């Protein structure tokens, strides 16, 4: 979008990653958006991004073009937007105009090579979607005696030591040697997916140990050999165009690996509902579209006491119970009130938003009705306080669906500990292995898995940068609950 050109208000907010087009339309309709200080309820209102002042829930929404960077990731740096212990890949991008950049996918802390850094959520989703089969090429140095015929087994599709199947991959052994009695080799491997520690686990299954790993390419994007380790540059127009064209053509690709499990490709499974006794839900970002409001509350709350909202705050408090979060705020910001007073302020601030501004996630109403007709019990396991949960359930008229509503304050530890899910299952009178959990963030997914339950990851715009991690941890991934109803049995 060139300077001086106008753009629709809803498109502007969507491109600024404030939500999907339908979500921002709803925000505008509810009067949450101000244009030059005046409430605007017209989604098609034309604005000039470089000149018009737009705020959402009192926070300014700044204009900047989408950014794309190629990074030659060094060892010792984590593929994350924030981390309390290590330097992140985002820390290396000095010239970024905006603060909403994220890495497309993940390289392990000890892995080097190509990493795409952007704020283009739509492109990232297409590149990471399991069905897209985007090629990734790695250079690996491996020690150990590899089994004979390893190339053919990689080409046929391996089964890892934990029983996980992986898609066919192309392996080329480029060099072999022996050093002090130890077998070593260098290899080039092309995979078509991105499972957790996949390259290392593939060689491990064949008797080898990866001692050095570097990603050379991802789809049409190849690592610039002129970039030293730790250096980056903006993508060229040709590189951006090639990535976009790759995602468009991949939409027509059909997998020839239909025999792989639902866990492998993360597509919504055809669930045999006769084997499910209970479905358990997280609340924010899973049942209701409410994650946007917590950052707004944090900003407003901290501003009252003279603090700017730290960039790492959301990641740090992810999964904490309501009480644990209050303790953290009081200690970190030296707040001059009791824990009960902090929580009372938050409850007051959130209840109004829950009652008047928070909608159900896409397909939730239909899915709850479907489960009720099936006779499947339902429960909620949330980090929120009961007063806030009651406000949203009553305003959306869905309380009657849930036999148990539990908060993390009622158990010993919040997510990612399994306590809250084990409690809900016990209160419903069902065994953990008969439960299906829905969550929107990694900490919650881990909680469900550690409770011995099957877990579905739910798409939410506020955890888009975690999409690959969510898909790795969960058994499947959905964008809309209606995906689970179609063809259900």
Nearest to 379 by CA among 418, 354, 355, 405: 405
Of 100, 108, 110, 480, the catalytic one is 108
Domain shared by 275 and 243, yes or no: no
Q: Total domain count for the chain?
A: 3
Domain membership flag for residue 143: yes
Q: Are residues 242 and 345 in the same domain?
A: no
Shared domain check, 36 and 95: no
The pLDDT of residue 23: 85
Question: What pLDDT score does 122 carry?
Answer: 66
Query: What tens digit of pLDDT does each residue of 207-228 get?
Result: 999 999 999 999 999 999 999 9
In tens, the pLDDT along 126-165 reads: 787 666 678 999 999 999 999 889 999 999 998 888 888 8
2 lies in a domain? no
Question: Is-catalytic flag, 108?
Answer: yes
The whole-number pLDDT of residue 260 equals: 35
237-250 helix and 121-128 helix, angle to the nearest 10 degrees: 50
In the three-class reduction of DSSP (H, G, I as helix; E, B as strand; rest coil), residue 36 is classed as coil
The rounded distance, in Å, linking the Cα atoms of 170 and 330 is 54
What are the per-10-residue average pLDDT scores of the chain (489 residues)? 66 79 87 86 86 79 75 92 81 74 87 92 73 86 92 92 88 94 95 86 94 96 95 88 70 39 48 93 91 79 87 76 86 91 86 79 92 97 86 90 93 88 96 95 91 93 79 89 78
Give the whole-angstrom CA distance, residue 411 versus residue 415. 10
- 256 domain residue, yes or no: no
Q: Any idea what the CATH number is for the domain that residue 289 is in?
A: 3.40.50.1000
Count CB neighbours of 242 within 10 A.
15
User: pLDDT tens digit string along 49-66?
Assistant: 767 888 888 777 765 567
Q: Are residues 42 and 74 in the same domain?
A: no
The torsion defined by the Cα of 453, 458, 463 and 467, in degrees rounded to 10, comes to 80
Q: What is the pTM of this model?
A: 0.48
Verify that 115 and 42 share a domain, yes or no: no
Specify whether 297 is located in the same domain as 413: yes
Print the domain residue range for 270: 266-489
């Amino acid at each position: 979008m060139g300077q001086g050109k106008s753009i629709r208000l809803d498109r502007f907010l969507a491109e600024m990653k404030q939500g999907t087009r339908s979500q921002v339309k709803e925000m505008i309709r509810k009067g949450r958006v101000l244009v030059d200080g005046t409430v605007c309820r017209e989604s098609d209102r034309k604005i000039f991004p470089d000149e018009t002042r737009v705020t959402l829930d009192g926070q300014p929404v700044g204009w900047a073009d989408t950014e794309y960077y190629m990074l030659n990731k060094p060892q010792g740096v984590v593929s994350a937007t924030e981390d309390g212990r290590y330097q992140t890949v985002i820390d290396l991008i000095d010239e970024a105009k905006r603060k909403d950049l994220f890495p497309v996918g993940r390289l392990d802390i000890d892995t080097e090579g190509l990493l795409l850094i952007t704020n283009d959520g739509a492109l990232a989703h297409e590149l990471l979607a399991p069905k897209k089969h985007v090629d990734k090429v790695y250079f690996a140095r491996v020690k150990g005696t590899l089994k004979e015929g390893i190339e053919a087994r990689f080409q046929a599709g391996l089964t890892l030591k934990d029983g996980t199947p992986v898609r066919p991959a192309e392996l080329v052994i480029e060099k072999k040697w022996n050093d002090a009695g130890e077998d070593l080799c260098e290899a080039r491997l092309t995979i078509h997916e991105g499972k957790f520690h996949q390259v290392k686990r593939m060689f491990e299954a064949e008797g080898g140990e990866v001692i050095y790993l570097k990603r050379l390419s991802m789809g049409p994007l190849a690592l610039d050999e002129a970039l030293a380790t730790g250096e980056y540059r903006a993508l060229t127009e040709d590189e951006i165009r090639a990535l976009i064209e790759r995602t468009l053509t991949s939409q027509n690709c059909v997998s020839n690996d239909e025999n792989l499990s639902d866990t492998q490709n993360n597509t919504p499974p055809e669930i045999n509902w006769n084997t499910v006794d209970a479905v358990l839900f997280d609340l924010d970002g899973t049942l209701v579209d409410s994650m946007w409001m917590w950052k707004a509350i944090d900003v407003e709350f901290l501003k009252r006491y003279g603090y700017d909202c730290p960039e790492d705050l959301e990641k740090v408090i992810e999964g904490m119970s309501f009480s644990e979060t209050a303790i953290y705020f009081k200690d970190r910001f030296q707040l001059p009130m009791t824990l009960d007073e902090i929580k009372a302020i938050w409850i007051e601030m959130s209840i109004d938003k829950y009652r008047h501004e928070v909608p159900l996630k896409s397909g939730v109403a239909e899915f709850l009705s479907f489960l009720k007709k099936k006779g499947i019990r339902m429960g909620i396991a949330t980090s929120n306080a009961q007063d806030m949960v009651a406000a949203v359930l009553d305003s959306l008229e869905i309380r009657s669906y849930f036999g148990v509503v539990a908060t993390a304050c009622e158990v010993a530890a919040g997510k990612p500990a399994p306590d809250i899910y084990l409690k809900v299952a016990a209160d419903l009178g069902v065994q953990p292995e008969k439960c299906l959990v829905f969550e929107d963030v990694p900490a919650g997914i881990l909680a469900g898995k550690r409770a011995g339950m099957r877990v579905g990851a739910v798409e939410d715009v506020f955890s888009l940068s975690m999409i690959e991690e969510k898909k790795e941890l969960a058994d499947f991934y959905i964008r809309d609950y209606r995906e689970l109803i179609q063809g259900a049995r």
